[in-house]
Chains A and B, each alone.
Chain A
Amino acid sequence: MTKTAERRPVPRAAALPDPAPPPAGGRRRRRIADQARAYAFLLGALVCFALFSWYPAVRAVVIAFQKYTPGSKPQWAGTANFTRVLHDPEFGAAWRNTLAFTLLALLIGFAVPFLLALVLNELRHAKAFFRVAVYLPVMIPPVVSALLWKWFYDPGAGLANEALRFLHLPTSNWSNGTDTALVSLVVVATWANMGGTVLIYLAALQSIPGELYEAAELDGANLLQRIRHVTVPQTRFVFLMLMLLQIIATMQVFTEPFVITGGGPENATVTVLYLIYKYAFLYDDFGGACALSVMLLVLLGAFSAGYLRLTRSEGDTP
């Protein structure tokens, strides 16, 4: 990485003494004043983090063990929320769908952008066009993408079936069929989000030193061998990082199922976050919603920890 050189701070000033040390008595007063000033700068952000990040995290755990309906006093409920949620038939469906969504998104939403990035890196013309085109869907609001694809998936005059008819293929129910709904949503999510993955992976590909490919070619490596022995190992870190980020993002999928299918047909696209939303805003059962949140939190926390470890260990190497 080329960044390390410019990142390294100028070493000498690590603990610079005050330019003109004040007399002994005033020194302490000055230090307190300095600290007060530092905390004045920190205050706004600290209050916001405390209110909207730290406190809700603690509160999720507390409410998960309470009977909580807005307006009345919360009561301790032991593990009742968890057992109730676990016995909800939608619970299994929601987790199955979320995991299936994540897995499919890895298969489709991950293979496609990598292949695209690999090809794009070889093209020497119209680079700007490719980058703008692939990132355009990312800038379209997710709600608009979802509504747009809902229209494409319309069994009647939707573009998806029109395309199939044009190719003389049998039409599909897309997001309206129990078997096809989840895959249809994965396609939408992939279309809407892969621009970021392509651009990040492209940047990683560009940082591979050309000499490596040259040396491999001199050693007689063909195209596939060069991909396997140069491209893949050289971009392994970015690859893993993107994979974890994608898992974390898709485990929290909400907009697509909410807008396109409403969780249907027959719960085929209910996701965990959707179920959390339902518990809180349809059933008024905030205890159940928080119990679900805690479960999601634990799982995602594990993935996030993996992600942070990965980025940290890479960042620390000099």
Chain B
Amino acid sequence: MIFKKDISSLHVPHNKNTAGCEPVKIQTPKEVILPMNMHSGGEAEPIVTVGEHVYVGQLIAREEGRFSSPVHATVSGTVAEILTLPTARGKEVKAIRIDSDGKMEADPNMKAPVFEGCDGFLQAVRESGVVGLGGAAFPTWAKLNEATNPDYKVDTVLINAAECEPYITSDHRMMLAHADLIDDGIEYMRKYMSEYLGDATYKICIEKNKPDAIKVLKEKFADKPYVVIHELNAIYPQGAKQVMLYNATGRVAIAGKRFPSFGALIINVSTLAKTAEYLNTGMPLVERIVTVDGPAVKKPGNFIAPIGTSIRTLLELTETDLEKVGKVVIGGPMNGNATVSVDSPIVKVSNCILAFDEKRATLPEPSACIRCGRCMEKCPVDINIGAVESAMKIKNDEKKEAALIDTGVRQCVDCGCCSYVCPAHRPLLATNQDAKWWLKQYERSKQSR
């Protein structure tokens, strides 16, 4: 790259109110609800029956379908019910409810996995139930497996510790407490995937607004020349993988290509640590750090909670008046998803719970576009956003496809900067996502014809 510039562009208020809050382990909840879709692929299939006793870390649902991931019990107790839960998209998903016996007994047969070679390593990661904890929920073994494709030559592993979304500090706190797990994770990758990732540089990409974590990591990796702590400006959206690739390596991600084809692998820092934890101890992904914050939360904080704990439990711990909550978001305010009810459980990727009061629960009504160009100015990948809206209205499919591709909408990183700055409050991100979905469907239908 001759000239390199930072393409992230939006100064959002950081609101990292909980950066100083040490994660507190919550009291064992009375029950946990574990949905079968806590990963990006097919729904997992329950293998336990109602009334069965389970230990913490016991396998209760196996993979089913592509890019699926196993589910483990997160409390000890009895399986109370196999139920269906409504999702935010209006569908239903199978879930397992476990009544806790309060003992948090781990599986007595649990031991660190024994494995050999790259295949054994990937199989072990597969059994850990770890998925991309940054939000994508893509099974980690599948991501690592991509690096073994002989077509790709991965020379950089980007460890995503940007945590660029406002409010969230769970990765930050994890790094302060478990730098050794990050180290272990890197060593596992180097050892067992030496053929593919042995010579790679490991870049831990972290925003400058976490100086304490940067210091810890720098000390930790001082004597490892292959680990680089790459400091990023604290400007949204550093954590979007295409933006991170560009800002950390100068390479440009091209839409429709698999990420390792750019010579880089990207993995969230908590994902890496959880993988290492499983490989060290045999304890699969059963609990995580959750930041609980938001305008309706009185005493924000970080909590270590078993996956499947209800949002209500966490909000009560922060003295939130549930009557006044108008919206609950899982994830960050820019990219998270609103959830159906406060009784929904936290899932594997729930790094943050945000509660908004009724006033902030709905955004203003959209009005006419005044062509101010703010959306395009803030777009990290320079999509012609205004044109996406008009292209979506074209009736002729072929013309619509050409017009949409011309806008560059396939490059969209889903950061939401456009919607954030729009003075007319137009749902630009949603339109972009619709456009990408339409393009995918259309291309698929063209191929099958």
Decide whether A and B assemble into one complex: no
Chain A residues with CB under 8 Å of chain B are: none
Chain B residues with CB under 8 Å of chain A are: none
